[in-house]
């Protein structure tokens, strides 16, 4: 197991270096520099432009800038945002829990609904239930997040008045964040009704962000189950007279889970991408919205810091997924 972990880590380090390079160069490939964007129609003199570029260090050759950047990273320094003048890491840490909270809820929603639905669809292949699930999954997968979010808001918040429109908690409640996770902080605050408010604020964004992963998981579970159900050992198990629930729940599901877990792992990236839109619609103060703002403002330090941190998180999640495979299916850790 240890060599398995070390092997996986060995892949992560070069990936990390690659990501720093990509994060660093991509934002610089965009035309326009941050100083010009900052000045807008008002503009500024050539001399002042040059001085500002020098102050930010953008006048040096790219390779030198990259060297400085790597050096700073080694010292745990992600730089200071060009716009807000706040340390990038500090901003990231403040906003990240909101994204994690939403993403966890979304993936939980997707798994809790997607797995059983996919399983049942596989077992009842060809029935109206199966057709409905597959059509629903296709619709969910193809739905633009922006439109879907607004539709839910207009329906459930506007017309029916069941859920709050946006935000993380009602403005009535006011407490200093402790963990950054609103569900936990609202409980810690001891204010009556705060937890319920936080929970109701999570409903719509969770559904919106969880819809695509839900569709993918349901489809993946269905096809993995179908494949496994046609295997010889399942037939043998059935022939031995095992209860259908045991055959499906124990023998089939465990083997079908391998590709499903891969998909769940990959959905983490999808969640971050989806968070950008979901956070904008639901005024959710997470990193998705922060990254978009930073790109528009050509805030180089925030973009490269944010990209790097997100990449690291995705790599870590995928590492955990790899390790999970090993646990579920010993063949993987032995054959690799």
Partner 1 sequence: MKPMKRKLLAAVCGASLLVAGAAAVQAKTLVFCSEGSPEGFNPAFYTAGTTFDASSRAIFNRLVEFERGTTKIGPALAEKWEVSDDGLEYTFHLRKGVKFHTTKEFTPSRDFNADDVVFSFKRQLDKEHPFHGVTEGAEYEYFNGMSMPDLLKDVVKVDDYTVKFILNRPEAPMIANLGMDFASIHSKEYADKMMAAGMPQAIDQKPVGTGPFQLVAYQKDAVIRYKAHPDYWDGKAAIDDLVFAITPDPSVRYQKLKAGECHVMPYPNPADLEAMASDPDVNLLQQEGLNVGYLAYNTQVAPFDNPKVRKALNMAINKEAILDAVFQGAGKVAKNPIPPTIWSYNDAVEDDPYDPEAAKAMLEAEKVSGLQMKVWAMPVQRPYNPNARRMAELIQADFAAVGVDAEIVSYEWGEYLKRSKDKDRDGAVLLGWTGDNGDPDNFLAVLLGCDGVGGSNRANFCYEPFEELIQKAKVVSDIEERTKLYEQAQVVFKEQAPWATIAHSVVFKPVRKEVVDFKIDPFGGHIFYGVDLK
Q: Which residues of this protein are in contact with partner 1, per CB under 8 A?
A: 30-33, 36-45, 48, 52, 55-56, 80, 82-85, 91, 94-95, 98, 150, 153-154, 157-158, 161, 164-168, 171, 174, 176-177, 280-286, 289-290, 293, 298
Rounded CA-CA distance 66/308 in Å is 14
Q: Decide whether 10 or 40 has the Cβ nearer to partner 1.
A: 40
Length of the chain: 336
Q: Decide whether 40 or 128 has the Cβ nearer to partner 1.
A: 40
The Cβ-side half-sphere exposure at 247, using a 13 Å CA radius, reads 19
Q: Among 66, 62, 65, which residue's Cα sits nearest to residue 21?
A: 66
Rounded CA-CA distance 296/53 in Å is 18
Report the SS3 class of residue 9: helix
Angle at 300 between CA 295 and CA 303, to 5 degrees: 55
Q: Decide whether 220 or 280 has the Cβ nearer to partner 1.
A: 280
Q: Decide whether 30 or 187 has the Cβ nearer to partner 1.
A: 30
Closest separation in Å from C-beta 11 to partner 1: 35
Q: Decide whether 251 or 298 has the Cβ nearer to partner 1.
A: 298
Closest separation in Å from C-beta 171 to partner 1: 5
Spacing of C-alpha 167 from chain mean position? 19
Closest separation in Å from C-beta 25 to partner 1: 17
Closest separation in Å from C-beta 31 to partner 1: 4
Closest separation in Å from C-beta 38 to partner 1: 7
Q: Decide whether 279 or 322 has the Cβ nearer to partner 1.
A: 279
The token duo for 250 is 């124990």
Closest separation in Å from C-beta 13 to partner 1: 31
Q: Cβ neighbours of residue 319 under 8 Å, at least 6 residues apart? A: 8, 9, 12
The token duo for 23 is 């994060």
């Amino acid at each position: 197991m240890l060599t398995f972990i070390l092997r996986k880590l060995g892949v992560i380090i070069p990936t990390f270096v690659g990501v720093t390079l990509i994060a660093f160069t991509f934002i610089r490939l965009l035309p326009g520099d941050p100083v010009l964007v900052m000045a807008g129609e008002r503009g500024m003199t050539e001399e002042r432009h040059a001085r500002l570029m020098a102050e930010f260090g953008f006048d040096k050759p790219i390779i030198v800038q990259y060297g400085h950047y790597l050096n700073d990273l080694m010292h745990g320094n992600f730089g200071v945002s060009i716009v807000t003048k706040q340390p990038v890491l500090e901003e990231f840490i403040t906003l990240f829990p909101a994204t994690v909270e939403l993403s966890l809820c979304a993936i939980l929603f997707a798994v809790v609904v997607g797995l059983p639905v996919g399983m049942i669809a596989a077992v009842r292949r060809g029935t109206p239930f199966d057709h409905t699930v597959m059509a629903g999954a296709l619709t969910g997968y193809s739905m633009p997040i922006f439109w879907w979010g607004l539709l839910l808001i207009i329906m459930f918040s506007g017309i029916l008045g069941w859920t709050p429109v946006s935000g993380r908690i009602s403005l009535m409640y006011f407490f200093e964040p402790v963990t950054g996770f609103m569900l936990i902080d609202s409980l810690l605050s001891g204010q009556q009704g705060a937890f319920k408010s936080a929970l109701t604020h999570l409903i719509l964004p969770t559904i919106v962000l969880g819809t695509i992963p839900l569709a993918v998981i349901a489809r993946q579970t269905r096809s993995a189950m179908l494949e496994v159900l046609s295997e010889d050992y399942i037939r043998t198990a059935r022939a031995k007279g095992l209860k259908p629930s045991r055959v499906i729940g124990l023998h089939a599901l465990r083997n079908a889970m391998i590709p499903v877990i891969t998909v769940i792992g990959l959905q983490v990236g999808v969640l971050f991408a989806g968070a950008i839109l979901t956070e904008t619609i639901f005024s959710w103060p997470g990193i998705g919205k922060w990254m978009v703002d930073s790109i528009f403002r050509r805030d180089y330090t925030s973009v490269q810091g944010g990209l790097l941190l997100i990449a690291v998180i995705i790599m870590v999640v995928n590492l955990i997924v790899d390790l999970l495979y090993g646990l579920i299916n010993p063949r993987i850790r032995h054959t690799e």
